Amino acid sequence: MKTERIRRWVDSTAAGRGDLDFLDLHVDEIDPAFENRESWIDAAIESLRIALLHRNSRDLPFTIAVGFSLSPTELRKTTSELALNDLQREVDDSPPSLYLFARNEEPWTNDDDLVSVVCALGDSWSSNLHVTALMREWHEDEEDHFRRSFWLAG
């Protein structure tokens, strides 16, 4: 069920150029088993793997990413590494989401707030698919905290 749901979303988003509208698919919408917050990290990683394999089988010209909204902080917490245990604690109340981006038009190509980080995916990532980990921290003028997000993209 979840594999077919992800494949349909990839195909329809690519065909309708939903990437231009930043369309996403929250992991809790993929499968009822993914509704529990404790499952979000593994669900996001599994969903990304399924989406990447499907994209590759169809030779679609898109980068697929899963984005995690992280809890805001008062001070910048820029890091060069992030462990999955840390990610579990840092995720806010919004479930991670899958996104499609036209290749070479990904949001991070022109965003100085996004930096590469090392993230060992461990046993959750049993694949030879190449994935890049990115962290974004930014400050809105009217806010007294830094907003943060984490991305896995392939």
pLDDT in tens, the chain (154 residues): 799 999 999 999 999 999 999 999 999 999 999 999 999 999 999 999 999 999 999 999 999 999 999 988 776 666 666 777 778 888 999 999 999 999 999 988 888 777 788 876 655 555 667 888 888 887 777 777 788 889 999 9
Q: What pTM did the predictor assign?
A: 0.88
- What is the length of the chain? 154
Residues 6+ apart with CB under 8 A from 85: none
Residue 119 CA: distances (Å) to CA of 11, 28, 54, 55, 129: 28, 23, 23, 23, 14
